[in-house]
Amino acid sequence: MIRVAAIVEGYGDVQAVPALIAKTSILLGNPAIASDPIRAGEWKLLRRPGVVEGYLELAASRQWDLILVVLDLEDDCAMAEAAVARERVEQWKDGRDIKVEIVFMVREYETLFLWCPTCLPVSDNALLPANPDAIRGAKERVKQVANRKISCVIRNL
């Protein structure tokens, strides 16, 4: 089993990301666990010098198999920000043998569920947006489409 030290943005992510990692990893045939994620805040705050590195140090102190950073990106360019983040991670690692992966959600974490109609109890796929990454308020849209809160959707995956 892969042990994941997750760094996430907010309170909802602290609950959602471990469930998503566990369930996805089982489906992929490589079980993983991500207990007790580190809530770090949003990327625009972590971009400041030394901030993301401090959270990486905390995650590394847990001595797990993988550090996974999962953050919403709002309106920033995922490719540009990923390049910046990768460079900072490499500088932070400074030759250490630590596996770090970064996942930026193009807008909001909840858009993942809108991209996957089979994840939601939807009776009419016409209710789903054509491009979930282009909308604002994905959490509210999931609630509207699934007729339940996102936390209930995650528990029932």
pLDDT the model gives residue 150? 57
Considering only CA atoms, which of 133, 103, 134, 130 is closest in space to residue 117? 130
Helix (H) or strand (E) holding 67: strand 66-72
Helix axes 78-93, 51-60, angle to 10 degrees: 60
Cα gap 31→138, rounded to integer Å: 28
Q: Please give the model's pTM, rounded to 2 decimal places.
A: 0.81
CA distance 18 to 11: 12
Helix (H) or strand (E) holding 79: helix 78-93
More confident residue, 106 or 31: 31
pLDDT in tens, 33-83: 998 999 999 999 999 999 999 999 999 999 999 999 999 887 778 889 999
DSSP conformational letter for 74: T
Domains recognised in the chain with CATH numbers: 1-106 (3.40.1360), 109-157 (no CATH)
Task: Please name the residues in contact with 117: beta carbons below 8 A apart, sequence gap of 6 or more.
Answer: 125, 128
